[in-house]
A and B are shown apart, each in its own frame.
Chain A
Amino acid sequence: MRTLFFTQAVDDALAQAMVNDPRIILFGEDVSLLRRDLLVRFGPRRVRGTPISESAFLGAGVAAAMAGLRPVVEMYMVDFLGVCMDALLNHAAKVEAFSGGKWTGPVVVRAPCGGGYGDGGQHEQSLWGWLAHIPGLTVLVPSTPADAGGLMLAALQHDGPVIFVEHKLLSETWLEFLGSGGRRTVQYDVPAEGAKGAVPQSWEPIPIGKAVLRRAGDDVTIVSVGVGVHRAVEAAQALETEGISAGVLDLRTVSPLDKAAVREAVAQTGHLLVVDEDYEGFGLSGELSAVVLEAGISCKYARVCTQTTIPYARHLEDQILPNRDRICAGVRQLMQ
């Protein structure tokens, strides 16, 4: 085992795949600088910067994938998918269905997401529920370096479009690039377990659609993804002192959802709390309630999500993003 930072792990898994598969190419804005380590290893034919033309280069990534390449297309932020959503919504997601199952576009889209560093509501959204809403898209949200690398490898082997959502608070490079800018005068609440961790010497793919239980608990099941998983574990530790045993299930994949794991965990505890940094309405949290209802599981349900546009001001932002205190309050309310 070795220890890597989150983005190091993603890039390391990507590099391993690039050695073995010459079809993998990489492009996006500023990729020449952001992925410079891959550029000097694999050269400018495979690693290239793009103009600020998301509609063109993401759309081109989809078609290049249809033609046999394995493109990894980088968005600066998941929010900017708003500029080029057509390429995903009406093209990448539809190729397999429209071709009668005969053709797919196996593009991997890397999309940094998430808040907690004061960049405001146009640069800190999560949006995985919005993406997972569309049939035909696979949406991955890793929460640790080991999962990030393993899921990246799985994404590159998957025969269809995958959105690989990387939380900026876990990413040493994004947080440095956008959050601190070399300053030592700012601090952000970075979950240590998510930012750096043990990873395998050689990467193996982690199956898409498989959740993992981060913490066992008898009284309540907290289900989350990304940074929310770490906030939930912190809350579970705090609740332990109050005599509440909370389990934490990390979905890792938003679409396809590991419904069996959710059902199994919630059937045991009879209490489900969803922690979702994405917007509350019409998203993952509501979907999870449908999963248990459809299975006929009787449980008490609550959710801690982002309900509004994310404020710029740090203190306001900390209140509206799911945090330990809100999660603890949610659990206590459920257990009443």
Chain B
Amino acid sequence: MTPELWSLYTLMLKSRLLEEAIAKLWHDGLISGEMHLGTGEEAIIAGVVSQLREGDAMGLDHRGTAALLMRGVDPVLILRELLGYPDGLCGGMGGHMHLFSKEYLAASSGIVGAEGPTAAGFALSAQYSRSSGIAVAFFGEGAMNQGMLMESLNLASAWNLPVLFVCKDDGWAITTQSEKVSGGDLNERARGLGIPAVKVDGCDVSEVWEAAHSAIEHARSGKGPTFLHARCVHFEGHFLGFQLLRLARNPLREMPEIAIPLTYSFLRPGGAALRERVAGLKIVLAAVLSTLRDPRRDSANDPVRRARKPLLSDPVRLQELEDQIEQKMSHVLASALAEEPS
């Protein structure tokens, strides 16, 4: 089987447009608190979720909007949840980090790594009832240092559970570069627990689809879990308003607030030896500089753009499709912003 590029691109573009609308609402102050978007991971989500069927389950992280949309949840309900309306997906109780859909067996969590036990439990239920259903866990590479996720990998291996563990690796655990706080190789960790590990380019939807296809078949046929490691970028960093990105995008506004206290603190008496202080300064500067050189600034890493490329061979169909999707998503936005029900 080969991936159906037109339908994958449709899913990805819908998701991108939905999340761009969410970003706008957040910037306008209509959405409160944090906002973790999945822009940049669309190829991973589409490549996996497009192959799920009834009875399959998902354990989602704090970035689950794209997965729910692609699974079939009404985007109006998602948006109205984010706007805090009582007729939102979760009655305004959950918000974007805690989205639940019983209909699609999808449960989110804002606790890093919690997708592991969730997917293992969904998979256990499927295995026990001999339903051929599988469970997917979506998480970032930062979660790979969380005990409960490591324990879930082992549990899934020991019990031969039908789980697809999907590691969406953008290299950053919030503001910390993951390579600086992680030992060894993530794929080797999974293999060490007896789980086959596959590494793919998470910006290439075909590659993700093919790897996920094998892994899902593997799980459905009772052969147990797979670990799928997909590199990606998060265009908005950990969350909207991400401090490091703000600094990179608007240094004149953001730099003084950081640099002045930093300099004062560096020079204040009573500190460590100069060598230690310089080492501390280097760590702060390295975080800022790596943001400036960040791969997310390179449009070649945009999975939506990459999925679009092969479709350019039929520009008329592409134009029609994009017009259609844009129109649909603007209807979605209009419905979501309609009067709050009394």
Residues on A lying within 8 angstroms of B by beta carbon are: 15, 19, 29-30, 32-34, 36-47, 49-56, 79-80, 82-83, 117-123, 177-183, 185-186, 309, 311-316
Contacts and interface: CB of A to CB of B under 8 A. Distances in A.
A86 to B, nearest CB: 10
A311 B93 contact: yes
Interface residues of B, number: 67
A197 to B, nearest CB: 19
B142 A52 contact: yes
A312 B81 CA distance: 9
Contact of A314 (B84, B146, B271): B84
Nearest to A118: B32
A73 to B, nearest CB: 15
Given A82-B111, A312-B98, A313-B84, A45 B276 contact: yes
Given A83-B148, A181-B239, A312 B262 contact: no
Nearest to B178: A51
B180 interface: yes
A122 B110 contact: yes
Given A32-B283, A41-B265, A183-B27, A122 B84 contact: no
Contacts of B34: 119, 123, 178, 181
B29 A183 contact: yes
B272 A120 contact: no
Contacts of A121: 93, 98
Contact of A42 (B33, B264, B272): B272
A47 B284 contact: no
Nearest to A77: B110
Contact of B276 (A42, A50, A56, A177): A42
B5 to A, nearest CB: 35
7 contacts: A30-B174, A39-B283, A49-B180, A55-B147, A83-B111, A311-B93, A312-B93
B334 interface: no
Chain B CB count within 10 A is highest, among A39, A79, A311, for: A39
Nearest to B140: A52
A312 B111 contact: no
A41 B268 contact: yes
Nearest to B143: A52
Contacts of A54: 146
Interface string B92-120: 11110110000000000111110000000
B283 A45 contact: no
B53 to A, nearest CB: 30
Given A29-B174, A52-B142, A186-B29, 14 more contacts: A19-B270, A37-B262, A40-B265, A40-B281, A41-B280, A43-B273, A43-B280, A46-B276, A51-B178, A53-B147, A83-B146, A118-B95, A120-B98, A312-B32
A308 to B, nearest CB: 9
Those 4 A-B pairs whose CB atoms lie nearest each other, nearest first:
A181-B241, A118-B32, A43-B276, A185-B29
Nearest to B266: A40
Contact of B277 (A40, A52, A56, A180): A40
A123 B33 CA distance: 10
B242 interface: yes
B148 A312 contact: no
Contacts of A314: 32, 84
Contact of A33 (B26, B180, B284): B284
Nearest to A46: B272
A119 B33 contact: yes
Nearest to B173: A52
B296 interface: no
A182 B241 contact: yes
A42 B277 CA distance: 6
